[in-house]
Amino acid sequence: MKSRILILAGLVLCVVAPALSQTLVKENNRWSNLVEVSPNTFTFHFQKISGDTLINGKTFKKLMGATSPEAAGWSYEAALGETVTGKVTIIKAGSTDEHLLYDFTLTVNDDFTGYYNNCQYTMKLNAIEDIWLMNGEKRKQFQFSGTGASGYFTENWIAEIGSDNGLTSAGIYSCTAVTDTAPTLNCFTEDNIVKVYNNADYPCVETVGNTEKKTEVGSAIISPNPVHESARFETEGYKNKNLELSVFDARGKEVSNIHSDTNILIFNRKGLKSGLYYYSINSETKLIASGKFIID
């Protein structure tokens, strides 16, 4: 059984159809995906939207891919379209067949039918929830389940970002008998703002001018760690800045939010249960540190 919930998000149940104001298919949207090829050994799959292409008389955006942000050239992987807001279609490289990749207009209990590598699959939408991205922006998360080649599976989408399995890996568990070594969405940036970052041990990608580069997000100095009643989070190089510390539990629910005008933030446990927690520290809209710590 496969189950994954994106971390770094606070959740409030919502069952109405979402209002859509963003679009997935736009320049400067970028994804960083992890593929675990063996235990604790990962490869990268970077994707970005760049430029237009004309197929079947319609204009699409080009989805480019690379295994490294420093790659000499990004290769064309697919064409993406969003003629109807919230409904994203894909045409894979070498094909002219257009298939539905995402439908963010669905409501709870709707079925979604899509294609993964020419395999048709169906899964049911069980819930729609509000989540908060790392820059403080609220979006909808769609929670699906189904049965396929991997047995019972779950899959989550974030509106106008895509699947927790990676942008073009929606439906992979229905069509392929895979384990947890399947792709995972690690990072999403929009207009060079980090909005999703699931594993700070691995890099995001940003654009600086016309140069691709890895963006390493630092970690804070936490003392003590494990935390008993309170802890001091300290960042380097951000004195006299308006900093925000967000703490999330293992399900991705925000459980604490602290502001400071210095580079030191004091976290108080306030009855939180023992276990593993995640944190992010932002300076205005910029993510400067993230990681995990233990409450004992």
Q: Report whether pLDDT(276) > 50.
A: yes
CA-to-CA dists, residue 247 to 36, 267, 282, angstroms: 27, 9, 12
> How many residues in the chain?
296
User: Which is it for the CA torsion 134, 138, 140, 143, positive or negative?
Assistant: positive
Residue 56, C-beta contacts closer than 8 angstroms, at least 6 positions apart: 96, 98
CB neighbourhood size of 251 (10 A)? 12
Indicate the pLDDT class of residue 177, thresholds 50, 70 and 90.
Answer: confident
Residue 159 contacts residue 8 (beta carbons within 8 Å): no
Sequence ranges of the domains in the chain: 12-215, 221-295
pLDDT at 15: 39
pLDDT in tens, 211-224: 444 455 667 889 99
pLDDT in tens, 85-133: 999 999 999 999 999 999 999 999 999 999 998 899 999 999 999 887 8
244, with CB counted inside 10 A (0-12, 13-18, 19+), is middle
Q: 14-45 burial string, b = 16+ CB within 10 Å, else e?
A: eeeebebeeebbeeebbbbbbbeeeeeebebb
Percent of residues, the chain, with pLDDT higher than 90: 42
Residue 196 contacts residue 8 (beta carbons within 8 Å): yes
Q: Report whether pLDDT(162) > 50.
A: yes
Q: Report whether pLDDT(7) > 60.
A: no
pLDDT at 180: 52
* Range name among 75-84, 110-119, 169-178 with the lowest pLDDT average: 169-178
- Residue 2 bridge partners (DSSP): 153
Q: Which stretch of DSSP H or E encloses residue 74?
A: none
pLDDT at 287: 76
Q: Report whether pLDDT(136) > 80.
A: no
Q: If you average pLDDT over each of 69-73, 135-139, 242-246, 266-270, which comes out highest?
A: 266-270
Cα gap 260→239, rounded to integer Å: 10
Cis-peptide into 39, omega within 30 deg: no
Percent of residues, the chain, with pLDDT higher than 70: 79
pLDDT at 14: 37
Quote the distance between the C-alpha of residue 54 and its chain's center: 29
Give the ranges where the chain is alpha helix by DSSP (H): 172-175
Q: Which CATH class is domain 221-295?
A: mainly beta
Q: Report whether pLDDT(145) > 60.
A: yes
pLDDT at 61: 96
Cα gap 48→189, rounded to integer Å: 10
Cis-peptide into 224, omega within 30 deg: yes
CB neighbourhood size of 53 (10 A)? 15
Indicate the pLDDT class of residue 35, thresholds 50, 70 and 90.
Answer: confident
